[in-house]
Amino acid sequence: MAINLNEVRKHIELYFKKHLPKYTVLEIRQKSYHPADNYLYMVSAKKEDGSYAFWSSWNERLQTLNHGHYNLQSVEDCERLFEAFYYEA
What pTM, to 2 d.p., does this model score? 0.93
Torsion of CA 19, 25, 27, 28, to 10 degrees: 30
Cβ-contact 37, 89 below 8 angstroms: yes
Domain that holds residue 30: 5-85
What domain count does the chain have? 1
Q: Give the separation between CA 15 and CA 36, rounded to whole angstroms.
A: 23
List pLDDT tens digits, range 17-69. 999 999 999 999 999 989 899 999 999 999 999 999 999 999 999 999 999 99
CB 4 within 8 A of CB 11: no
Distance (Å, rounded) from C-alpha 54 to C-alpha 80?
10
Return the pLDDT at 51.
Answer: 98
